[in-house]
Amino acid sequence: MNFMIVRRAAVYLSLSIATFISIFPFYWMVVGATNESRDIVTGKSTIGTNLVANFQNLLAQVDLAQVFWNSAVVAIAATVLTLAVSSLAGYGFEIFRSRVRERIFQILLLLLSIPFAALMVPLFVMISRAHLSNTFTAVILPTVASIFIIFYFRQATKAFPGELRDAARVDGLKEWQIFLYVYLPSMRSTYAAATIIVFMTSWNNYLWPLIVLQTEDKKTITLVISSLTSAYTPDFGVILLSTVLATLPTLIIFFVLQRQFVQGMLGSVK
Amino acid sequence: MAQTRFDRNAQLNGWAFIMPAMMLIGIFMVYPILWSLWMSFQVGRGTNFKFGGLANVERLLNDPVFLRALTNTCIFFIVQVPIMIILALLFAVALNDSTLRFRGLFRTAIFLPCVTSLVAYSVLFKSMFSGDGVVNNVLLATHLVNDPIPWLTDPFWAKIVIILAITWRWTGYNMIFYLAALQNVDKSIYEAARIDGVPAWARFTQITIPMLKPVILFTTIISTIGTLQLFDEVNNITQGGPGDATLTLSLYIYNLTFRFMPSFGYSATVSYVIVIMVAILSIAQFMIARDRRRTA
């Protein structure tokens, strides 16, 4: 019996330590945003008085409204397009089966493991040749046909009742109308989960925007944080404030839509 | 007759629905990966290149920087992936116990790092692990170390920081997969084992792990593939340094293409090293799983 109590205590203790380690960087980020850079790098972890000054410094270096606008435009456009293109494909693969398309689907499975590192050089050359460097189009387009999301929708479509389709067909609806007016409204939770995943991925994307976007007026928030950090004398008060601002939207999405968030994360890679 | 028209319609619709995605995948994945294969046989700088046969492969084998990047990348996934998978499994099993209090709180907290962007958390880690930063302060105050650890300036410790950072960011992510899988495991198996007097540790290794094998395999593959592509963290925490101590293959490809005078053919060759490693690992892991299933 004693042994049981000791084990219980050990479980609680390790989970508490894990919780502390998981949460501490968030606390550190918020506290850091209120401190001066030299206090941050010497480990001051209590609330300071430098928040306003950090904000002013950030605004002096970065056109914050423009940066957030850029991130939002890229993430929202990528999300809408990805959901449209990939849900059409997922639905198409599941509903209209043929031997050739099953083969294609298997090839997609193989393509899934192609690392982005292997694509970035040719993609960069293609984008430059098409004179699309430094455009949002170039940031968004290569990410639109997401194999993950196609899988996710195919998987979810398996649960879409055939009777609904049959009834709609009897009513004389064309296939695209069935998709738009029957399938889409009944799969709202699938779309919600996919939206969260694609938006987050796009909002947080770093390497590809880093390659494509060169001028300050096009940079997204992740690129700004990164370039602030690589300055010769990085101002960590300003940097941590900008990470707070960059993390806030995704944090809010997570807490408001926790269930769909986790569902999407599990589903998108199933 | 009506049936064939229906079939033809289904065929047409089938193609129409997948066409936009297939065209985009063709343009932005299939074409580039083939182009990259062709490029890996070309030598020259910038846009002037010519066929060089296996010259790039030869350069690869004699390139000390490449070998360092390859070694670092391997160290990262060989050390980091097992640590993270085991931690995630242990947390998942602990949190799967319905008698545990504060489960929701623990689960949310451990999962929370997944919400941060890779760049944001990298920057946080860079600031926490500075020479006289908060981590060293805590370690000194608790007398765990006598001298501050040169986290970002020492080749060994810089690697440790990267490993700690990735583990922080991804353990909760993997844990979620195990928690979901554990919910599908029949509770009566554990009950029976408990009645038979099977100790907790044996229940973990004899029941939980075999039951979760498919999902463990799956998460191991995606984690390994992720670590092979490591870029955001090293570029923002250490910039590959000190020296080339944390240079990864992805960062090296980036440097070759965008920081140095571009040599697309050679970059493509290095990138195919990642492609081949990912392919081998995926195949190997699937074979191991299949063999185990057969002998079990």
The 3-state secondary structure of chain B reads: CHHHHHHHHHHHHHHHHHHHHHHHHHHHHHHHHHHHHHHCCEECCCCCCEECCCHHHHHHHCCHHHHHHHHHHHHHHHHHHHHHHHHHHHHHHHHCCCCCCCHHHHHHHHHHHHHCCHHHHHHHHHHHCCCCCHHHHHHHHCCCCCCCCCCCCCHHHHHHHHHHHHHHHHHHHHHHHHHHHHHCCCHHHHHHHHHCCCCHHHHHHHHHHHHHHHHHHHHHHHHHHHHHCCCHHHHHHCCCCCCCCCCCHHHHHHHHHHHCCCCHHHHHHHHHHHHHHHHHHHHHHHHHHHHHHHHC
Q: At what angle do helices A2-32 and B103-111 cross, to 10 degrees?
A: 40
**pLDDT of A147-193, one tens digit each?**
888 988 888 888 888 888 888 888 888 888 888 888 888 888 888 88
Is residue A79 one of the residues assigned to a domain?
Answer: yes
pLDDT of residue A269: 46
Residue B95 to residue A15, Cβ atoms within 8 A: yes
pLDDT of residue B4: 64
- Which of B29, B84, B170 would best serve as a mutation to test chain A binding (most A beta carbons within 10 A)? B29
Is residue A216 one of the residues assigned to a domain?
Answer: yes
Is residue A40 one of the residues assigned to a domain?
Answer: no
Q: Which candidate from B17, B114, B272 shows the least CB-CB separation from A118?
A: B272
Is residue A23 one of the residues assigned to a domain?
Answer: no
- Domain residue ranges of chain B, discontinuous segments joined by +: 1-39, 56-295
pLDDT of residue A254: 84
Is residue A32 one of the residues assigned to a domain?
Answer: no
Q: Which candidate from B87, B236, B257 shows the least CB-CB separation from A226?
A: B236
- Which of A11, A12, A16, A22 would best serve as a mutation to test chain B binding (most B beta carbons within 10 A)? A22
Residue B28 to residue A145, Cβ atoms within 8 A: yes
Is residue A199 one of the residues assigned to a domain?
Answer: yes
Chain A partners within 8 Å of B136 (Cβ) = 43
Residue A258 to residue B274, Cβ atoms within 8 A: no
pTM exceeding 0.95: no
Q: Which candidate from A19, A236, A254 shows the least CB-CB separation from B109?
A: A19
Task: Give B42's strand partners.
Answer: B51
Is residue A258 one of the residues assigned to a domain?
Answer: yes
Residue A206 to residue B117, Cβ atoms within 8 A: yes
Chain A partners within 8 Å of B285 (Cβ) = none
**pLDDT of A182-231, one tens digit each?**
888 888 888 888 888 899 889 989 999 999 998 889 999 999 999 888 88
- The answer to whether the CB of B60 falls within 8 A of the CB of B41 is no
pLDDT of residue B1: 43
Structure tokens at A76: 């929202």
Number of domains in chain A: 1
Predicted ipTM of the assembly: 0.85
CATH number at residue A144: 1.10.3720.10
pLDDT digit string (tens) for chain B, length 296 residues: 445 666 777 788 888 899 999 999 999 999 999 988 888 888 777 666 777 778 888 888 888 999 999 999 999 989 999 999 999 999 998 888 878 888 888 988 999 998 888 999 999 999 899 888 888 888 888 888 888 888 888 999 999 999 999 999 999 989 988 988 888 777 788 888 888 888 878 888 888 888 888 888 888 888 888 888 899 999 999 988 788 889 999 999 998 888 877 788 888 899 988 888 888 877 876 777 676 666 54
pLDDT of residue B167: 95
- Residue A74's domain comprises 66-267
Residues 235-294 of B with CB under 8 A from A: 235-236, 239, 249-250, 253-254, 257-258, 264, 267-268, 271-272, 274-275, 278-279, 282
Mean pLDDT to the nearest integer, A98-109: 88
pLDDT of residue B289: 66
pLDDT of residue B294: 61
- The answer to whether the CB of B168 falls within 8 A of the CB of B112 is no
Is residue A132 one of the residues assigned to a domain?
Answer: yes
Residue A117 to residue B231, Cβ atoms within 8 A: yes
Residue B21 to residue A86, Cβ atoms within 8 A: yes
Fold for domain B56-295? Answer: MetI-like fold (1.10.3720)
